Structure 1
Amino acid sequence: MNVGGLVSASSTVAPTLSRQFAMHTNQPSVWPDFMVGQSMQPVRVLLVDDDPHIRHVIAQELLADDRINLVAQAGSLKEGRRKVAMHEFDVLVVDLNLGDGNGYDLIEQVKSVRPQAEVVVISASEDDEHAMHAFGLGANGYLIKNSWFGNFPQAVLQVVNGGASITPNLARRLLHRLEPGKPSGHMLRGSRDRLSEREREVLKMVAAGYTSGEIGARLVISGQTVNTHIRNIYRKLNVRTRAQAVSCATDRGLL
């Protein structure tokens, strides 16, 4: 049961979780009609998290806001992939750590098949590199599950209206990277874009048009290992697609 924007201890969520994740609803009394997210045309959301209790809490938050329509939920990467193919949605809310894989793979799928969809990551980790990787793949939101700042409906509405939603502590740390006397974003990017010899080898084959399976066969490694190298290349170059990776690496003289 959701009362006054709080998940009550009498709900099906365990009491400790209800206390940890309870959040106040902050829906304004007036919502401008030019903003995306109206009661007659709510924002469609797909939620993917492998923890049923946390998923329930987030779902209750989303369902309590009439500007949002929770179209589907999934509890695994496999189920998430199926729901992505089945449903039309505007925002994917996804955990990074799924029981049978990771949320990065789902972000990549969504950006490939539904490039206009926004992505909000929910994570138990406030690790800067995880966040930067998610942003590099196209996410515009990153929320820490046990943070008491903001709420899930607010994050959904922010990203779908062209903004971003980042847990304040994480946002502050990322901003500190740009402070005088600290490495700039360009310098940080330069330190990350050093590809290993194997990554260069994989990227050269990508540039030549080989598939992951073909690259794996030529290098005598699995296709999964090839895809791991490709994800690392994306992260280091801050790109989202193979074409962007080849173009970026060529511009920087990495190939």
Structure 2
Amino acid sequence: MVGQPEKPVRVLLIDDDAHLRMVIAQEIMNDRRTMVVGQAGNLKDARKAIRQNDFDVMLLDLNLGDGDGLELIDVMKSQHPHAEAIVVSVMETEEQVLRAFELGATGYLVKNSWFGNYPQAVLQVANGGASITPSLARRLLQRYDKKPASDPQVSLSTTDRLSSRESEVLRMVAGGYTSVEIGVQLQISTMTVNTHIKNIYRKLQVRSRAQAVRFASLRGWF
């Protein structure tokens, strides 16, 4: 499992609120499995931090003082393709959430409801899962269900690529269940759930839960 005291998950923290940044950084550093390797408070410093630091997960506020933090997801993916991005915002408008996941984010957290759980979110995405509230997952699925089934992105013959267990996990992901909840329901470990999710990403050639749900719903798999 990624994230052990001897080799913690490295986190880059970007937020223009210095106080909140300090609170989140302290939470992460208090867990021996996670550590902060860099911080930034605006777009300019964030680009430099992305370039200068090696990290596994980027915690990103969208509303930075000098611009929209969404563009940093693309910057991160181009320079650190294996890193994961978790958006941390005081808002969760559907358009923002949708855009963040389409750009490759793996999580979307609402600041005021997530204090005390940032290390958990970091460890979850580092191990192939995602940090997204069930209500957001369901809203995304409803949004994707409105897309036409003839979407050219799903023209590949991939129906048989997923195992029965992977299909079951994907259906639960679409229902908004977290990796922990899926593990409890299926009586398997969270690590096994995250392994299935990683395999689903690889087989469907997607980078996030939202993209996997969209792919499956457009194929009419559930």
| Aligned equivalents of 2:149, 2:134: Cα separation in 1 | 21
Q: Does 1:162 align with 2:123?
A: no
Task: Summarize the Cα distance change of 1:74–1:91 in structure 2 as closer, same or farther, 3 Å threshold.
Answer: same
Which protein, 1 or 2, shows the higher relative CO under an 8 Å CA cutoff with sep ≥ 6? 2
2:102 to 110, 133, 136: 136
Instruction: State yes or no: 1:68 paired with 2:29.
Output: no
Unaligned stretches of 5+ residues in structure 2: 152-205, 208-222
CA distance in 1, matches of 2:150, 2:112: 30
1:48 aligns with 2:11: no
Aligned equivalents of 2:104, 2:116: Cα separation in 1:
21
Matched, 1:99 2:65: yes
Offset of residue 165 of structure 1: 0.5
Question: Residue in 2 aligned with 1:186?
Answer: 147
Whether contact under 8 Å (1:149, 1:168) holds in the other structure is: no
Q: Secondary structure at the match of 1:39?
A: coil
1:53-95, CA deviations, whole angstroms, 9 ceiling, x for partnerless residues? 1111111111111001110111111111111111100111000
Q: What is aligned with 2:91?
A: 125
Letter in 2 for 1:84: I
Q: Which has the larger radius of gyration?
A: 1
C-alpha RMSD over aligned residues: 2.3
Task: Flag the 1:92–1:38 CA change in 2: closer, same or farther, 3 A.
Answer: same
Structure-2 residue corresponding to 1:146: 112
Letter matched to residue 187 of structure 1: P
Deviations 1:158-191 (A, max 9, x none): 111011111333233334446xxxxx1533996x
Deviation at 1:104, TM superposition (A): 1.0
Gaps of 5+ in 1: 1-34, 179-183, 191-238, 241-255
4+ residue segments displaced more than 6 Å: none
Higher-helix-fraction structure: 2
Code of the aligned partner of 1:102: D
- Partners of 1:142 and 1:166 within 8 A in 2: yes
TM-score (norm 2): 0.64
